[in-house]
């Protein structure tokens, strides 16, 4: 099967689809979103990178991450750009490419803290809606199917047991990580807790999302399963 077989031009009114991928850390969102983007000829936009870039800027400015007034002020002086790439997104903050600086534990923790504030989220959601307005995107995050694009043509909620997600993260850390697997799993549980229990846009499946649990799958198998979900949904839409 090729991307052409699921001609995105055959959707109602010639619309290109929006594929929303949500789920907790380590569920395989990035790998799967990348696969779907290549497979269906869509742009892959990773919204977590935007929260991470903003958190990096807040850390650099030594802002208290629980003082929303200062963070709000910072949003007014910040331009975030996300560019789709083949392997990963490039994220630019005020024109500076910070792609290589946003995956460390300090930024990971800070991103999870700044993302609890409704005003920060509203700002991010507006940017994300602008980026995906024309369709033709796979957008991954925590609230894409529920808040950013509730009208997305395809919604997938990915999950896996915390131990499996933690081990995936650990394995991605390279040959001699400075942390133990149980620390990674503990941090991931703490982030899960914050993401799932925040008052504004908590991480949860949209009512019409397809649930995909990759606990007993490799990421390759999960990507194939996600591809089948998208293909079937696009076929249904094209036939309507």
> Interface with ligand DC by CB under 6 A: which residues?
25, 47-48, 51-52, 111-112, 115, 141-143, 191, 195
Q: How far is the CB of 238 from ligand DC (least distance, A)?
A: 28
Q: Distance between CA atoms of 95 and 190, rounded to whole angstroms? A: 32
Handedness of CA 163, 48, 210, 232 (dihedral sign): negative
Q: CB of 36 within 8 A of CB of 230?
A: yes
Q: How far is the CB of 81 from ligand DC (least distance, A)?
A: 16
Q: How far is the CB of 172 from ligand DC (least distance, A)?
A: 12
Q: CB of 111 within 8 A of CB of 53?
A: no
By beta-carbon proximity to ligand DC, the closer residue of 40 and 54 is 54
Q: How far is the CB of 132 from ligand DC (least distance, A)?
A: 12
By beta-carbon proximity to ligand DC, the closer residue of 8 and 185 is 185
Residue 215: C-alpha distances to residues 26, 110, 168 (Å): 11, 27, 11
Handedness of CA 28, 33, 38, 40 (dihedral sign): positive
By beta-carbon proximity to ligand DC, the closer residue of 112 and 214 is 112
By beta-carbon proximity to ligand DC, the closer residue of 42 and 158 is 158
């Amino acid at each position: 099967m090729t991307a052409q077989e699921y001609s995105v031009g055959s959707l109602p009114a010639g619309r290109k689809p929006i594929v929303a991928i949500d789920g907790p850390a380590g569920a395989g969102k990035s790998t799967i979103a990348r696969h779907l983007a290549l497979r269906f000829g869509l742009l892959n936009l990773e919204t977590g990178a935007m929260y991470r870039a903003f958190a990096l800027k807040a850390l650099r400015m030594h802002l208290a991450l629980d003082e929303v007034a200062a963070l709000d002020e910072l949003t007014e002086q910040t331009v975030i750009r996300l560019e789709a790439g083949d392997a990963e997104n490039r994220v630019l903050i005020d024109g500076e490419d910070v792609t290589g600086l946003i995956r460390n534990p300090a930024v990971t923790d800070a991103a999870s803290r700044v993302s609890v504030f409704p005003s920060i989220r509203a700002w991010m959601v507006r940017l994300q809606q602008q980026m995906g307005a024309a369709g033709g995107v796979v957008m991954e995050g925590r609230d894409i199917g529920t808040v950013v694009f509730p009208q997305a043509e395809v919604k997938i909620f990915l999950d896996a047991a915390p131990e499996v997600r933690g081990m995936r993260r650990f394995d991605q850390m390279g040959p001699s990580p400075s942390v133990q697997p149980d620390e990674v799993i503990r941090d991931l549980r703490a982030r899960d807790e914050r993401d799932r229990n925040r008052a504004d846009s908590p991480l949860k499946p949209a009512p019409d999302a397809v649930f995909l649990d990759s606990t007993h799958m490799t990421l390759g198998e999960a990507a194939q399963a996600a591809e089948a979900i998208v293909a079937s949904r696009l076929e249904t839409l094209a036939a309507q």
